[in-house]
Amino acid sequence: MKWSWEQALARFDLHLRAERALSPHTARAYLGDVAQLAASLGRTTPATADASDVRRFLAERHRRDAAASLGRKLAAFRTFFRFLVREGVRDADPTLGMPAPRAPKRLPRPLAVDDCQVLMAPSAGDGETENGIAALRDHALAELLYGAGLRVGELVALDVRDVDLAQREVRVLGKGGKERVVPLPAAATRALAAWLERRRRPGVRAEPLFVALRSRRGEAPRRLDARDVRRRLARRARAAGLADRVHPHRLRHSYATHLLDMGADLRAIQELLGHASLSTTQKYTAVSAERLVAVYDRAHPRARTARRKRRSD
């Protein structure tokens, strides 16, 4: 079987969306990565590209891309070539055994609890337009990001029917099409109830939970996308007087870290976050340990002296 790059990319796109159930963001990134490889190989076909072609491409990108980006590109190539082997286009995967570049380990940077409280205060949305409806919406989405630890992609995919205010829970479709039910704190429940009271149309539940306030005449309200949410959250943080950068995933980090600080079980946090592996969740234990050391160093009168002495020894 012979496929051109155009045919291979079209089939790969369908595979990612229909079979792998990757998030739209990841699917676009993988498809873009393979398209970059195709553009760099000239007349080489999907069936004849070999390991040296992949290594050469990654080496050329090394100067421009961070290790994490290179690692994602290699993951995209592995997925692509394995798909071609399965489809009978190739006999072997040229990326087999190819090591991924090591990315520096970065600990999550959660917000302080006090900063989260300020950000969640209804007054943080003062000055919004549309008779306060925008403030209600932005307050609700901020409470949901922090109160349920959602990914921004999960948040914008929610429909009205996914929220059960009576049971105080939200049904979330996570990575890989895995569904989970996350409990809602009282503050998030109240904020969502206030928003839904203003924007819900009677009898319509199969509609986006968070929508733009303006739409063309005769058209349904547009679902907010991830960029909208980031922009609204950043604006809310500025209005609340927070100098530190605030974005949706940082609220997710804050959710997990604050739960751990309050004694929540790591396995339970894994389920709440929708992590496939416990090792992904364990990074929050390092964050909490680091925070404890910082508190100790600030609070104990002999802590810094003792720490300097240990280092000098």
Q: Annotated catalytic sites, by residue?
A: 151, 175, 249, 252, 275, 284
Give a three-class secondary structure readout of 246-306: CCHHHHHHHHHHHHHHCCCCHHHHHHHHCCCCHHHHCHHHHHHHHHHHHHHHHHCCCHHHH
> 92: which DSSP letter?
S
Single-letter residue type at 169: E
Q: How far apart are CA 189 and CA 192, in angstroms?
A: 5
One-letter amino acid at 81 equals F
Pick the closest to residue 40 from 28, 56, 25, 18 (CA basis).
56
One-letter amino acid for residue 155 of the chain? L
Strand order in the sheet with 179-183: 163-164, 169-173, 179-183
Q: Is 130 left (phi over 0), alpha (psi -120 to 50) or beta?
A: left
Q: How many residues does the chain have?
A: 313
Buried (b) or exposed (e) across 181-216, using 16+ Cβ within 10 A? ebebeebbbbbbebbbeebeeeeeeeebbbbeeeee
Q: Is the dihedral of CA 288, 102, 277, 146 positive or negative?
A: positive
